Structure 1
């Protein structure tokens, strides 16, 4: 799943604007929520569907996808989002397995499959390229460790709305690193995303208090 997701993401960005590709990938929380019941036997409450749907609306407002989004290559981006969601669902299924083997096998599988493409598109990287690839590897490893641990501790449908927060963090880092001032659609979209996450968190706290 990880190899297919990675290939679909990078290939799609060659032919589609990044905002369009990210819009498809931000559909993965919807897919995770839909897969939680049949694959994991988890109960998905109505308010979680509402939160995921509202969060996706916020993503669309923030990213403002272009007409190019509705092209044939968009099917590949949607496939990648599905593989990403399926990978998270399977990780939740294997929650009793220690997190380290799960992360190592995911990266090993993606690395082996990715290495098969080297003879067809090899370009000798510069020292700066190698540094960036190393940083990407470290950040990706930390990301998958956190996701794996989170999926071991709670239901996939509970975590799904919080995946939208990546748009919020991207906006913050864009301003801190490149001084990219967020536009009003981005501010509005981020506010909706944060609101959907707070709604889920507040409802979860209220449910625990009432059941105590």
Structure 2
């Protein structure tokens, strides 16, 4: 792909990750006023709207019918706990610290791809995984103040979301809107039985923030899917890490958070570098597989 053809994908990716950061900002704003279960329930309602509209415009609600319902059931069953953990971490941690831990997800997905997908992971990617987790340890170093219950929740959420994202590869024929809708249906279903016990009557402002946050989440997913449809993952995925800058500015301006210290930035840089290398290696392997398939097809034709 040429630079001119990938530029739209990059711009859409930057917009998507900014929208995701705004969603997380809305979650953090409400996290100090509502129980995390209520935040998750209201957010899921808003998140359902953009992908549903996308499916309607792209071919109808039939696109939301999964080819393998069991896979979506597993994802929907794990999503409520993953959502509660990550929303709690957002509520009590600076977004930059939470993101620094969340950036370990590509490393976790790579590790999970062996038992879940049966993929072969070479020594290069395993080395990147090890180095990346060393970066996480630098972020969570003893005495930093980060290694507490909220950080453990963020680690748990990262593992669960990595599992949820990894099994998407087992259902490549489903429309992207299908993945978004059923995960949020699972989150809403998981929150509703608990919601009456933690209910806080929302104000008009809180309802607006919650609804907007949900719309941003669903919209961000739609934009991200669009970016991935325009360019390879190796081009799009690294731009996720710009969220650290978005979060640093929002944390400083909106929440009065201090900027991360030098050790946190250093650990984050290691995690980011490892993640980018893993994405690069996966992109190279995908290209090689496509080339071999084409050569095999040409050989059969000859």
Q: Normalising by the residue count of structure 2, what TM-score does the alignment of the two structures yield?
A: 0.52
Sort the Cα spacing of 1:95 and 1:150 in 2 relative to 1 into closer, same or farther, 3 A. Answer: farther
Sort the Cα spacing of 1:118 and 1:148 in 2 relative to 1 into closer, same or farther, 3 A. Answer: farther
More contact order relative to length (CA 8 Å, sep ≥ 6): 2
CA contact (8 A) 1:51 1:197 kept: yes
The residue that corresponds to 2:117 in the other structure is: 40
CA contact (8 A) 2:106 2:162 kept: yes
Indicate the RMSD between aligned Cα atoms, in angstroms.
4.1
The residue that corresponds to 2:247 in the other structure is: 173
CA contact (8 A) 2:114 2:120 kept: yes
Asked if residue 187 in structure 1 is aligned to residue 261 in structure 2, the reply is no
- Give, in whole Å, the separation in 1 of the partners of 2:202 and 2:210: 9
- Give, in whole Å, the separation in 1 of the partners of 2:125 and 2:162: 16
- Give, in whole Å, the separation in 2 of the partners of 1:23 and 1:173: 10
Deviation larger for 188-197 or 60-69: 60-69
For structure 2, list consecutive stretches of 5 or more residues without a partner in the other structure.
1-77, 293-302
CA contact (8 A) 1:62 1:185 kept: yes
Q: Normalising by the residue count of structure 1, what TM-score does the alignment of the two structures yield?
A: 0.69
Shift of residue 7, structure 1, vs aligned partner: 2.0
For structure 1, list consecutive stretches of 5 or more residues without a partner in the other structure.
none
Shift of residue 174, structure 1, vs aligned partner: 1.9
Asked if residue 199 in structure 1 is aligned to residue 273 in structure 2, the reply is no
Rg comparison, structure with higher value? 2
Asked if residue 52 in structure 1 is aligned to residue 129 in structure 2, the reply is yes
Shift of residue 195, structure 1, vs aligned partner: 2.8
Sort the Cα spacing of 1:174 and 1:23 in 2 relative to 1 into closer, same or farther, 3 A. Answer: closer
CA contact (8 A) 2:97 2:260 kept: no
The residue that corresponds to 1:119 in the other structure is: 196
**Superposition pairs of residues 84-95 of structure 1, within 5 angstroms:** 84-95=161-172
**Superposition pairs of residues 23-172 of structure 1, within 5 angstroms:** 25-62=102-139, 64=141, 66=144, 69=147, 78-145=155-222, 146=224, 165-166=240-241, 169-172=243-246
